[in-house]
């Protein structure tokens, strides 16, 4: 099967297993090498890439992918971040990922910056108290308990504000962008 990424994406969206297999063959090694630059653990990197492909297949019919290569590399980056977060919950992920070589080209960097900018615009549309709680949680990385104490509100109120913020963000962005946000909560 010698098709462009756009053709493969379209066929994948239609649930064609052959397209998935072609994508797997084309990108597995590249994605593994990229994951290894981030994590340097063969088994973990194999798991990361495997998880990306599992999710790609599971969401194939519900997620139309415009830029397949960027999507896959970004997904690997997100999975690696989750793996790192699981190992070291206090790691400053934004700082960590800023030091990574990004050999995906200028397009991906611009895309990520544009998404981060759009996300900031959406966050600024949140009600004041909701936005304040959200920023303390995501930017300042305070726990719900710390936020409640600092703002003199209950933990349940903090949770309600965070849920409201996430629902608002999800409502105001498309699916792929929301997935990006879910993994890159520390980007802003």
The answer to whether residues 33 and 94 belong to one domain is yes
Same domain assignment for residues 96 and 135: no
**pLDDT at residue 110, rounded to an integer:** 66
Q: Do 17 and 53 fall into the same domain? A: yes
Split into its structural domains, the chain has a count of 2
Task: Tell me the pLDDT tens digit for each residue of 150-164.
Answer: 999 998 999 999 888
Question: Pick from 69, 104, 139: which residue ends a domain?
Answer: 104
H-helix segments, the chain: 5-13, 17-39, 42-58, 68-87, 93-98, 106-124, 128-138, 144-151, 155-172, 175-183
Identify the domain boundary among 66, 89, 104: 104
Give this prediction's pTM. Answer: 0.48
Arithmetic mean of pLDDT, 15-34: 90
Considering the domain architecture, whether residues 88 and 125 belong to the same structural domain is answered as no
Q: Give yes or no for residue 123 having a pLDDT over 80.
A: yes
Residue 115 lies in domain: 105-188
Q: Which of 70, 104, 138 is the last residue of a domain?
A: 104
């Amino acid at each position: 099967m010698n098709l462009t990424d756009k053709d493969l994406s379209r066929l994948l969206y239609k649930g064609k297993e052959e397209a998935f297999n072609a994508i797997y063959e084309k990108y597995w090694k590249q994605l593994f090498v990229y994951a290894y630059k981030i994590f340097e653990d063969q088994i973990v990197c194999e798991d990361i890439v495997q998880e990306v492909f599992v999710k790609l297949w599971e969401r194939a019919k519900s997620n139309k992918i415009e830029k397949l290569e960027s999507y896959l590399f970004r997904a690997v980056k997100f999975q690696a971040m989750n793996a790192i977060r699981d190992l070291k919950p206090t790691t400053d992920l934004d700082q960590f990922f800023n030091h990574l070589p990004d050999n995906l080209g200028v397009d991906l960097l611009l895309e990520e910056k544009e998404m981060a900018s759009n996300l900031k615009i959406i966050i600024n549309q949140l009600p004041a108290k909701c936005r304040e709680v959200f920023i303390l949680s995501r930017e300042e990385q305070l726990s719900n308990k710390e936020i409640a104490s600092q703002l003199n509100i209950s933990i349940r109120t903090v949770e309600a504000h965070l849920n409201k913020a996430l629902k608002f963000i999800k409502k105001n962005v498309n699916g792929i962008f929301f997935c990006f946000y879910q993994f890159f909560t520390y980007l802003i």
